Structure 1
């Protein structure tokens, strides 16, 4: 049994090492957005990840941060989490299962598409989300996300 577990871990490690460089080499088709009423202009990747992984409920200045998500199975969602948190959809599912089971957090609210996300973020300075670059307009502010 221990040998099987060791082999599975080894296979998972090899898969991650092969897949991660591919994901980080892709150009991101998403932008991280906040309301124009929010004073932020930039966040580091780790700060964005912390908010979306329920590790932080605050923006760097101390204001409340509420993350919004696109639906499970969305290609943009998979790209976002791969880029920002270095996690595949399967790893995200496992992460949220553990967080909910242990009572340490709830996943972000899901909305059906980038237009719905943009509309909700536009009037609420506490919200942060990601949308398709092509859905960006003047109703929201794109944040610069730095490594």
Structure 2
């Protein structure tokens, strides 16, 4: 019985883990690290390293992927991020990233607009209309 419970716990732990791939338009020649991506998604940088405007887009349909991105890139929980943006909105000092529901929307937006940066899972990252700049 204990083995079954342990196996179930290990299986569900691995199944909820999502590979996060930060993606941009293929024409974007910038180099990215976790700090750069975090600063863009937290509204601290409004442009890519090259100076081109950066428009971050969150994908909210896949909760496991969003949580993984928040944890690995932003080093914050969803509730911490919500509180952060609530404070900035209230003081008029910032706007949170645009939100879309699906990875297909991220793929579509990024492939059409060189200013958008988003994140997807492993399956969507294989799209030739995207450039993966960071994988976690």
TM-score after normalising by structure 1: 0.75
Residue 144 (structure 1) shift: 3.2
Is the 1:33–1:130 Cα contact (8 Å) retained in structure 2? yes
- Name 1:39's counterpart in structure 2: 29
Indicate how the Cα distance of structure 1 residues 46 and 103 shifts in structure 2: closer, same or farther if over 3 A, else same: same
Residue 73 (structure 1) shift: 7.4
Indicate how the Cα distance of structure 1 residues 102 and 82 shifts in structure 2: closer, same or farther if over 3 A, else same: same
User: Root-mean-square deviation (CA), in Å?
Assistant: 2.0
- Name 1:30's counterpart in structure 2: 20
Indicate how the Cα distance of structure 1 residues 73 and 38 shifts in structure 2: closer, same or farther if over 3 A, else same: closer
Following superposition, which runs of at least 4 residues in structure 1 exceed 6 angstroms of deviation? none
- Name 1:124's counterpart in structure 2: 113
Indicate how the Cα distance of structure 1 residues 100 and 50 shifts in structure 2: closer, same or farther if over 3 A, else same: same
Which of residues 94, 97, 101 is equivalent to 1:108? 97
**Which residues in structure 2 correspond to 1:54-93 (within 5 Å)?**
54-71=43-60, 74-93=63-82
Residue 39 (structure 1) shift: 1.6
- Name 2:39's counterpart in structure 1: 50
Q: Unpaired runs of 5+ in structure 1?
A: 1-25
SS at match of 1:143: strand
Indicate how the Cα distance of structure 1 residues 84 and 125 shifts in structure 2: closer, same or farther if over 3 A, else same: same
Alignment coverage as a number of residue pairs? 120
